[in-house]
Amino acid sequence: MGQPLRKAEPETQSYSDRIRELVESDMVGGARLLLAEALEKGDHDEDLSGWESVLTETKGRPNPDVECDFDRTPEFRWITEHSEAYRGQWVALVGSELLAHSASLQDVFSSLERNKPKRRPMLHYID
């Protein structure tokens, strides 16, 4: 099976598109490898800084201002109750509160950057 993580053909798919596909398929490790390849090759045609900040593994102590260990039952309940209205979109939830939604994961990240929640939001793609 060749090298499935590499960018297909230069004209057919961008690194960002392929990285997004890998993230959406829960292949975060592969997305990190592909991002490293893109950065190593110096592919400056694309803005990969958003993916770089999202996919960078954290080191050291977690942020003490962000609660990390909590029950996600309200988020799952919200998804069950509202998924039909948000099909084909990424949603960011804290409890039963919808913080952001968009077909673009990058748009959701941008919204969360502007309005940083106190608790780590749950991100979910509703297909």
pLDDT string in tens for the chain (127-residue length): 444 555 555 556 788 888 888 888 888 888 888 888 888 877 655 677 788 877 877 665 555 655 556 688 999 999 999 999 999 999 999 999 999 999 999 999 999 999 888 888 999 999 8
Q: What is the pLDDT of residue 105?
A: 92
Which residue ranges make up each domain of the chain? 15-55, 73-126
**Between the CA of residue 37 and those of 5, 23, 32, 40, 66, what are the distances in Å?**
10, 16, 9, 5, 31
Q: Whole-prediction pTM value? A: 0.49
Q: What is the pLDDT of residue 79?
A: 93
By the 8 A CB rule, do 52 and 25 touch? no
